[in-house]
């Protein structure tokens, strides 16, 4: 409240006191004066709500099938992403950031656990992703980012597409999330979700169910509204945590731009890139809403926000699929376009602003990076394939990540070490049932040749030998475990759709 002379009551009181001190009681002790001012400033600070909690909050925005070349700040000529461009300008943008796998389920497992999918049995040739009738899913003994942060007293929520199993023990609520709002699998799987009862019988939960926590609240939701509904839930969660002054973890795996793509009336028909551009511009708006809410609540400097994608663009969807920019191939493939994705980190005052790094990073690194940020101790068995990117994000410089392993299902197809990537096997993402083995492996210098066009193996036998030895060591570190993707529950005739 301000008075007629434009001062608040507290400022009026201070002014009156100053007058008394300067002109009425000039001999009054300076010590008493400072004590009064100290008390007054304490009262002033107490009057302004302090919303910053001591422990940093974490938000992970995880798009589905967004390509390396789909954002303005990654060079797309007609898709407008002002909010993500600003996020990148205020934070650190990676030009060599990798999802852990070229398809949905294994990539999501790796982001949440910091482990390659082969270590959790979360990859298979038979089913490349979990189905609506899969028996398996995210194993109970895995440590997820949500579990780590929940153990540290965080509020946690998953908003969006899960795709790590449909049986109750595999859903978000059993893996560290207090709440979940979203879909259990991809938006092109509008089929009967099949559950196993405790007596071994099976039951259908209906087609394309939308969940709130463990309950199905509707079926076949209007996909034009998914991005906005997810955003609304995300903002409510952030606001409630801010009101309660509790640290929070929000995992926001969007359903878009996985096909079939849809945009609401607010975005449809707006982008020169067509419907795909409308969908990306909605995701840009959504991220902007989250960043603005954090700014308004005074949480910007205490919240790490990460924006990335689960795999490259789905090129077989043509105009409805995204772009890998200058990278070769897309989703489903171990060429660069399958796994190199946008990677933007933002935390003003902590993450270096305006930085573009050509160092390596991966979604595998999120768990150790977040653990380092919040000061949580990781068990020795956790995040076997991740690195703490904290020093790089704060100060720039070199990444602890020097290598990247590229799996197609349960087979190691390629390995990157420094600038070089060796392909032991290659296979187009789709429509080619067999892989081609390469002996010696194909070798590309990705710093020089990011499009993987020119095999330089014959000039670098030493590099090939070094990468082959690294691959051998890695293979030896993989312990066989039960496969989670192969067992399916029969769907009764007439219930498939
Ligand atoms: Mg995907």
**CATH numbers and ranges of domains, the chain:** 52-401 (3.40.720.10)
Q: Of 291, 400, 397, nearest to 345 (Cα)?
A: 291
- The yes-or-no verdict on residue 342 having pLDDT over 90 is yes
Q: How far apart are CA 379 and CA 148, in angstroms?
A: 10
d(CA 213, CA 217): 9
User: For the packed helices 9-19 and 30-47, what is the interaxial angle rounded to 10 degrees?
Assistant: 180
Expressed in angstroms and rounded, the spacing between residue 130 Cα and the centre of ligand 1 is 12
Quote the pLDDT of residue 46. Answer: 37
The confidence score (pLDDT) of residue 54 equals: 75
**Percentage of residues of the chain with pLDDT beyond 70:** 88
> Ligand 1 center to residue 46 CA distance, Å?
47
Residue 302 CA to ligand 1 center (angstroms) comes to 29
Q: Cα of 460 to ligand 1 centre, how many Å?
A: 34
CA 377 to ligand 1 center in whole angstroms:
30
63 flagged as catalytic: no
pLDDT at 493: 67
Which two three-digit tokens encode residue 317?
Answer: 């969807």
Tell which wins on pLDDT, 492 or 286.
Answer: 286
Q: What percent of the chain has pLDDT over 90?
A: 85
- The pTM of the full predicted model, rounded to 2 decimals, is 0.89
The pLDDT of residue 491? 77
- pLDDT for res 419: 98
- Per residue in 242-274, pLDDT tens? 999 999 999 999 999 999 999 999 999 999 999
Which of 233, 245, 230 is closest to 57 using CA atoms?
245
User: Radius of gyration (Cα) for the chain, nearest Å?
Assistant: 26
Instruction: Assess whether pLDDT exceeds 60 at residue 1.
Output: no
Quick check: is 460 catalytic?
no
Q: Which residue has the tokens 């040749």?
A: 449
pLDDT band, residue 5 (cuts 50/70/90): very low
Cα(141) to ligand 1 centroid in Å equals 24
Arithmetic mean of pLDDT over the chain: 90
| Dist. CA 50 → ligand 1 center (Å) | 39
| Burial group, residue 489, by CB count within 10 angstroms (0-12, 13-18, 19+) | buried
The whole-number pLDDT of residue 191 equals 76
Task: Say what the pLDDT of residue 490 is.
Answer: 84
pLDDT tens profile 35-75: 433 444 334 333 333 444 479 999 999 999 999 999 999 99
Q: Tell me the longest C-alpha to C-alpha distance in the chain.
A: 96
Among the listed residues 63, 104, 254, 423, the single catalytic one is: 104
Residue tagged 């099938």 (tokens): 65
If you average pLDDT over residues 321-349, what whole number do you get?
98
Q: Which of 459, 416, 419, 412 has the alpha carbon at shortest distance from 440?
A: 459
CB 164 within 8 A of CB 144: no
* Cα of 258 from ligand 1 centre, angstroms: 6
Mind listing the pLDDT tens digit for each residue in 171-207?
999 999 999 999 999 999 877 899 999 898 999 999 8
Give the distance, in angstroms, between the CA of residue 401 and the centroid of all CA atoms in the same chain. Answer: 18
pLDDT at res. 494: 60
Does the pLDDT of residue 341 top 50, yes or no? yes
pLDDT at 146: 98
How many other C-beta atoms are found inside a 10 Å radius of the C-beta of residue 398?
11
In this prediction, residue 162 has a pLDDT band, given cuts at 50, 70 and 90, of: very high
Cα of 429 from ligand 1 centre, angstroms: 13
DSSP label at residue 340:
E
Mean pLDDT within 150-170: 97
Residue 135 pLDDT exceeds 60? yes
Q: What is the pLDDT of residues 366-381, one digit of tens each?
A: 999 999 999 999 999 8
Q: Are 193 and 209 in contact (CB under 8 A)?
A: yes
Residue-wise burial string across 272-285, b where 16 or more C-beta atoms lie within 10 A, e elsewhere: ebebbbbbbbbbbb
Catalytic site residue from 63, 76, 158, 163: 163
């Amino acid at each position: 409240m301000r008075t007629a002379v434009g001062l608040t009551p507290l400022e009026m009181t201070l002014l009156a006191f100053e007058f008394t001190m300067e002109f009425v009681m000039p001999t009054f002790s300076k010590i008493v004066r400072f004590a009064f001012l100290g008390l007054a400033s304490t009262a002033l600070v107490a009057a302004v709500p302090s919303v910053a909690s001591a422990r940093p909050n974490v938000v992970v925005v995880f798009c589905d099938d967004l390509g390396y070349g789909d954002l303005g700040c990654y060079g797309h000529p007609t898709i407008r992403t002002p909010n993500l461009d600003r996020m990148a300008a205020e934070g650190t943008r990676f030009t060599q950031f990798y999802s852990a796998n070229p398809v949905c389920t294994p990539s999501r497992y790796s982001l949440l656990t910091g482990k390659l999918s082969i270590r959790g049995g979360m990859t298979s040739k038979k089913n490349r992703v979990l189905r609506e009738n899969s028996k398996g899913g995210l194993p109970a003994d895995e440590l997820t980012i949500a579990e780590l942060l929940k153990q540290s007293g965080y509020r946690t929520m998953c908003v969006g597409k899960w795709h790590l199993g449909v049986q109750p023990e595999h859903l978000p609520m059993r893996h560290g999330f207090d709440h979940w709002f979203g879909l259990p699998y991809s938006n092109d799987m509008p089929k009967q979700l099949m559950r196993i009862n405790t007596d071994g019988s099976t039951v259908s939960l209906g087609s394309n169910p939308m969940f709130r926590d463990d309950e199905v609240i509707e079926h076949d939701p209007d996909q034009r509204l998914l991005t906005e509904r997810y955003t609304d839930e995300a903002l409510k969660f952030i606001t409630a945590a801010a009101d309660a002054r509790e640290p929070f973890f929000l995992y926001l795996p969007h359903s878009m731009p996985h096909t079939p793509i849809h945009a609401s009336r607010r975005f449809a028909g707006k982008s020169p890139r067509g419907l795909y551009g409308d969908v990306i511009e909605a995701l840009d708006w959504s991220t902007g809403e989250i960043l603005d809410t954090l700014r308004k609540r005074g949480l910007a400097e205490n919240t790490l926000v990460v924006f990335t994608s689960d795999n490259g663009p789905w090129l077989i969807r043509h105009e409805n699929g995204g772009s890998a920019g200058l990278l070769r191939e897309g989703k489903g493939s171990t060429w660069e376009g399958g796994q190199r994705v946008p990677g933007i980190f933002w935390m003003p005052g902590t993450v270096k602003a305006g930085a573009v790094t050509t160092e390596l990073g991966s979604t595998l690194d999120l768990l150790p990076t977040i653990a380092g940020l919040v000061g949580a101790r990781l068990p020795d068995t956790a995040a076997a394939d991740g690195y703490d990117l904290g020093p790089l994000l704060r100060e720039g410089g070199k990444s602890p990540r020097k290598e990247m392993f590229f799996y197609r299902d349960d087979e190691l197809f390629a390995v990157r070490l420094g600038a070089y990537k060796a392909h032991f096997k290659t296979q187009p993402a789709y429509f080619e049932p067999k892989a081609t083995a390469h002996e010696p492996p194909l070798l590309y210098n990705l710093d020089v040749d990011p499009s993987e066009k020119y095999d330089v193996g014959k000039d670098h036998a030493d590099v090939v030998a070094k990468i082959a030895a690294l691959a051998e060591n890695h293979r030896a570190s993989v312990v066989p475990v039960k496969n989670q993707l192969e067992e399916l529950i029969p769907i009764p005739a007439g219930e498939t759709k």
